[in-house]
């Protein structure tokens, strides 16, 4: 090349055998035409199966399987979602028909929606952003992220009967779900396990064992949809799927009403409270279903003391509000708080006795029991009680 007539510029994007090679994005992807061809072939197979009670022609079905597996260089999960498809090809004669299993239909639906949220395989493996050590026993599982963030749990009665191969793979999946809120999407995680079978199955994303395949993080149909297009998302996820649901809401910038258990010790609890616009605690107290939190206008029926105390104790618990050390909320906490703040701005004792409803308007009880004389006035106290303050000259 003549240095005075040109300049060397390397190619950063190249199409080769239907694959798009992106050196800047460090990814190999299928071209748009190949993605369209894949979806079209799969959709045709689903239509044929729907018309003929899950029966399809073996020859045409083999063509669909070939189109799917030919993209494995750019699709890491190809073998996982093609296993049942290949198994069903053997259920009929070569020139006849074969009947698809329900698992094959689910896999075909996955391929019919493939690529709508991006795809690709890394050309060069990025350095690990996190290290995750996992282990499992006959009773429970555990993991540690980066040496200082532990997650753990117990197996149920049903899962205790699993083979050790399955429990070790499950430990990896449960640990990844437990720390998902601490990991940025796209981060590469180095998993350390003392079980070679678990590492092989995790890296290969496939196994001849259906139980091991079920332990992979299979994308749900709902999680493949765009939640950001609707403001009426109502979600009641299984407990083990809570981190995935929260990550989905954050990724799609969606608004959703989510039913969650009050588990303050979980890693997702604090971020949920920080991001929530409204928190409603259901069945906090043992009150009747028609017991309102705020009584209707004109209704002077008092809220039962036990209900009020339960609300005061469990409400702060839900909102992660800690009481002062050595203190608990009781039925007199509202009285004490009101009396102390009212007295701090200079409200007279007889007015305070009237407000908190002491018997016979006893001001000595107000002073001795309810008022903390060392409390300084603040803006909240003035906003609440300044209307009762009478300045006598």
Q: Tell me whether strands 256-258 and 233-235 are parallel, antiparallel or unpaired.
A: parallel
| For the chain, percent of residues with pLDDT exceeding 90 | 3
What is d(CA 63, CA 57) in angstroms, rounded to the nearest whole number?
Answer: 10
CA Rg, the chain, in Å? Answer: 31
pLDDT score of 296: 57
What is the pLDDT averaged over residues 317-346? 76
Highest mean pLDDT among 20-24, 43-47, 379-383: 43-47
In this structure, what are the phi and psi dihedrals at residue 236, rounded to the nearest 5 degrees?
-130, 75
Q: Which H or E element spans position 224? A: none
pLDDT in tens, 99-140: 998 888 888 988 888 877 678 888 887 788 899 999 988 888
pLDDT-derived band at 10 (thresholds 50, 70, 90) equals low
Q: Tell me whether strands 19-22 and 27-30 are parallel, antiparallel or unpaired.
A: antiparallel
Lowest mean pLDDT among 94-103, 185-194, 257-266: 257-266
User: Is 20 in a helix, a strand, or coil?
Assistant: strand
Distances (CA, A) of 290 to 90, 286, 314: 61, 11, 19
Highest mean pLDDT among 175-189, 196-210, 275-289, 310-324: 175-189
pLDDT in tens, 273-314: 777 766 665 554 455 545 554 555 556 566 666 666 666 666
What is the pLDDT averaged over residues 207-234? 65
pTM for the whole structure: 0.49
How many other C-beta atoms lie within 10 A of the C-beta of residue 364?
10
197's CB contacts (< 8 A; 6+ apart) are 165, 168, 169
pLDDT score of 144: 92
pLDDT score of 134: 92
How many other C-beta atoms lie within 10 A of the C-beta of residue 27?
17
The pLDDT of residue 80 is above 70: yes
The pLDDT of residue 222 is above 80: no
Give residue for tokens 């282990």. 135
What is the pLDDT averaged over residues 263-270? 75
pLDDT-derived band at 217 (thresholds 50, 70, 90) equals very low
The pLDDT of residue 43 is above 50: yes
What is d(CA 117, CA 119) in angstroms, rounded to the nearest whole number?
Answer: 7
Average pLDDT, the chain: 78
pLDDT score of 235: 82
pLDDT score of 393: 44
The pLDDT of residue 214 is above 70: no
The pLDDT of residue 383 is above 50: yes
The pLDDT of residue 218 is above 50: no
* CATH superfamily label, 130-214: Ribonuclease H-like superfamily/Ribonuclease H (3.30.420.10)
pLDDT score of 107: 87
pLDDT score of 96: 87
Lowest mean pLDDT among 10-19, 127-136, 187-196, 297-306: 297-306
The residue among 203 and 22 whose pLDDT is bigger is 22
Lowest mean pLDDT among 11-15, 268-272, 303-307, 387-391: 303-307
| For the chain, percent of residues with pLDDT exceeding 70 | 76
The residue among 59 and 159 whose pLDDT is bigger is 59
The pLDDT of residue 379 is above 50: yes
pLDDT-derived band at 318 (thresholds 50, 70, 90) equals low
DSSP assignment string, 59-128: HHHHHHHHHHHTTTTT-TTTTTTTHHHHHHGGGS-TTSEEEPPHHHHHHHHHHHTTTTT---EESSPPPP
The pLDDT of residue 34 is above 80: yes
Q: How many residues does the chain have?
A: 393
Domain ranges of the chain: 21-122, 130-214, 227-275, 333-388
């Amino acid at each position: 090349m003549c240095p005075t007539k040109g300049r060397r510029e390397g190619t950063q994007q190249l199409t080769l055998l239907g694959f798009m090679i992106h050196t800047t994005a460090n990814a190999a992807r299928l071209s748009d035409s190949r993605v369209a061809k894949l979806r079209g072939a799969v959709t045709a197979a689903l239509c044929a199966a729907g018309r003929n009670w899950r029966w399809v022609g073996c020859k045409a079905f083999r063509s669909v399987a070939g189109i799917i597996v030919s993209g494995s260089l750019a699709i890491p999960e190809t073998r996982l979602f093609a296993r049942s498809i290949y198994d069903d090809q053997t259920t009929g004669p070569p020139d006849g028909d074969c009947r698809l299993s329900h698992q094959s239909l689910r896999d075909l639906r996955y391929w019919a929606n493939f690529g709508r949220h991006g795809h690709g395989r890394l050309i060069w493996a990025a350095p690990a952003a996190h290290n995750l050590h996992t282990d499992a026993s006959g009773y429970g599982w555990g993991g540690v992220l980066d040496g200082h963030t532990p997650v753990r749990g117990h197996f149920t009665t049903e899962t205790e009967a699993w083979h050790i191969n399955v429990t070790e793979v499950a430990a990896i999946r449960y640990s990844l779900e437990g720390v998902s809120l601490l990991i940025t999407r796209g981060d590469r995680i180095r998993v350390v396990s003392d079980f070679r079978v678990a590492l092989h199955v995790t890296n290969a994303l496939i196994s001849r064992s259906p139980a091991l395949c079920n332990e992979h993080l299979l994308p749900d149909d709902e999680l493949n949809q765009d939640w950001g297009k609707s403001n009426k998302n109502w979600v009641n996820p299984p407990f083990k799927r809570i981190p995935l649901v929260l990550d989905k809401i954050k990724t799609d910038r969606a608004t959703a009403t989510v039913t969650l258990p009050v588990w303050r010790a979980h890693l997702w609890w604090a971020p949920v409270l920080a991001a929530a616009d409204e928190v409603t605690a259901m069945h906090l107290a043992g009150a009747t279903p028609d017991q309102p939190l705020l009584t209707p206008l004109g209704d002077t029926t008092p809220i039962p003391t036990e209900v009020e105390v339960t609300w005061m104790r469990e409400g702060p618990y839900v909102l992660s509000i800690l009481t002062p050390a050595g203190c608990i909320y009781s039925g007199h906490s509202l009285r004490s708080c009101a009396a102390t703040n009212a007295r701090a701005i200079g409200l007279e004792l007889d007015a305070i006795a009237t407000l908190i409803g002491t018997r016979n308007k006893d001001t000595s009880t107000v002073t001795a029991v309810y008022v903390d004389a060392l409390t300084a006035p603040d803006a909240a106290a003035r906003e609440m009680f300044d209307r009762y303050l009478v300045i006598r000259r």
